[in-house]
Amino acid sequence: MAQSIQLTAPNQTTYLQPTGLFINNEFVPSVYGDTLSTVNPFDESLIASVSSAGPEDIDLAVASARNAFKSEEWQSLTGYDRGVLLTRLADLCDRDKHILATIDAWDNGKPYEQALGEDVAEVISVFRYYGGWADKIQGRTIPTSDAKLAYTRHEPIGVCGQIIPWNYPSMMAAWKLGPALACGNTVVIKAAEQTPLSILYLASLIKEAGFPAGVVNVVNGPGTTAGAAMASHQDIDKIAFTGSTNTGKAIMIAAASNLKAITLETGGKSPLLVFDDANLDQAVKWSHVGIMTNMGQICTSTSRIYVQESIYETFVEKFKQYTIENSIVGSQFDPQVNHGPQVSAAQKSRILGYLETAKREGAQLVLGDEQPSPDAKGYFVKPIIFKDTNRDMTVVREEVFGPFVVIQSFKDQKDAIDKANDTEYGLGAAVFTENITRAHNVAAAIQAGMVWINSSQDSHFAIPFGGYKQSGIGRELGEYALSAYTQVKAVHVNLGTWL
């Protein structure tokens, strides 16, 4: 099997798509001999087949990362040198941003303009941002007594296994690779089965940027084989995962075998609260952004909306109208479209299953009865809005991960906070109010890793991202991510008074 093929995407972009595993800076076939195929979610047409890793391939990738970690070539690079490499990688992603955006739009189904303006723009920023941190990772000196000099070194952890999902393929890769490389680790990273393509293209840019062989190894493959082999591997020192809470738990159990360091970014059921003193038009606009962006396939999507009683019906009506006018469903390559297909048949049927469950459990359907016929090509799901929901309903408790939102009312601030926190998750939350005191008090009372006041989903690479409760462990992005990719060594120096 050739290790790359020339592809022409529906937007007429032609590029060279690597198809191998990327081990030791070379694209190689899988020893395991397996491949996986990926389709365009718009019409279910085959895009390409790529090598799929088995346990032996994971062993080779880990050995490559271990050798690179121990190598003189990587160890002798200063933080400044690593920063230069990351900055060069950012420049190459910028040069090829149209290709990266084309691949993510084609493979995932997300609108091309969003892939370019949000996903790939963030990829570039994240690499540049962590390029800036690479020479600013500093320990401390700790005063104790005249007899001792004590200082800490923030050292890399070693070989990091990184397992990422399909909703933001290249962006999730950047969130994981940026801090890991800035801190001097080496990496084996696995993309999701549904979106294996952009990470292979990114691998070619990593090589072009000049990273030494083996510093980054890229494998594709099923979670239950390739992913599980990484999570239980005895020579991986740390595992970082983004995906479902159940898979996060399985990874945690497997990672216990050699006590790997872990960071997990898992599911969510994030609340959005609208108080009666809010700017209603802004609340409506952001509520739409908060759940319909990326067809609802966002871990932090604000999928539970709570509205104060006096404005409840007005909000529901305005939100319905806004959604009808502003969710333009169609091909991800049509510039008018902002709502493409879901990523896969499995996700589509899962969401439509929740539509039936919600009706059966007595929620009132506001929008979403007219879905494409089951035999229509493509994984389209039109926006779904339910009102008059309650805490016992499945769709209020479980993550749907689609353009699917449940609305209910609340009485007062205490009721709003109680309802917002009535979940096993704690990833994001949004609060709409013009009362500055209330805004900060509610933000403090909500059990979530991120709270947006008068917006939703406006995350930023310099600001930590992660979850409370079953939404995860640890933080990504910002300076906080550096502590997830370093370990602290304390050095005690006897200053001679004990000789």
Half-sphere exposure of 306 (CA within 13 A, CB side): 26
Interface positions with Mg ion (CB under 5 A):
38, 107
Residue for token pair 């020893």: 31
Ordered DSSP codes for 252-310: HHHHGGGT-EEEEE-----EEEE-TTS-HHHHHHHHHHHHHGGGG--TT---EEEEEGG
Question: Of Mg ion, ligand NAI, none, which one sits near residue 169, judging by CB under 5 to 8 A according to partner kind?
Answer: none
Asked if 251 touches ligand NAI (CB under 6 A), the answer is: yes
From 12-20, 187-195, 269-277, 479-487, span contacting ligand NAI (CB under 6 A): 187-195
Q: How far is the CB of 249 from ligand NAI (least distance, A)?
A: 10
d(CA 308, CA 40) in angstroms, rounded, equals 42
Active site includes 265? Answer: yes
Site string for ligand NAI, 210-249 (x = CB under 6 A): -------------xx--xx--x----------xxx--x--
Looking only at the bridges linking them, the beta strands covering 148-156 and 46-52 are unpaired
Pairing relationship of beta strands 261-265 and 472-473 according to DSSP bridges: antiparallel
Residue nearer to Mg ion on the CB measure, 267 or 340:
340
Q: Is 250 in the site for ligand NAI (CB under 6 A)?
A: yes
**Closest to Mg ion by CB, 38 or 297:** 38
Q: How far is C-alpha 425 from the chain's CA centre?
A: 16
Residue from 118, 122, 193, 265 carrying the catalytic annotation: 265
The residue within the footprint of ligand NAI, chosen from 162, 167, 185, 331 (CB under 6 A), is: 167
What 3-state DSSP class applies to 243? coil
Query: Toward Mg ion, which CB reaches closer, 268 or 340?
Result: 340
CB atoms within 10 A of CB 304: 27
Q: Which is nearer to Mg ion, 191 or 307 (CB)?
A: 191
**String of contacts with ligand NAI for each residue 74-103, x by CB under 6 A:** ------------------------------
The piece of 2-10, 94-102, 158-166, 412-420 that touches ligand NAI (CB under 6 A) is 158-166
CA distance 163 to 219: 10
C-alpha distances (whole Å) from 204 to each of 20, 125, 197, 208 are 11, 19, 11, 6
Whether the Cβ atoms of residue 49 and residue 19 lie closer than 8 Å to each other: yes
What is the contact surface with ligand NAI in residues (CB under 6 A)?
163-165, 167, 190, 192-193, 223-224, 227-228, 231, 242-244, 247, 250-251, 266-267, 299, 347, 350, 399, 401
**Which residues are part of the catalytic machinery?**
265
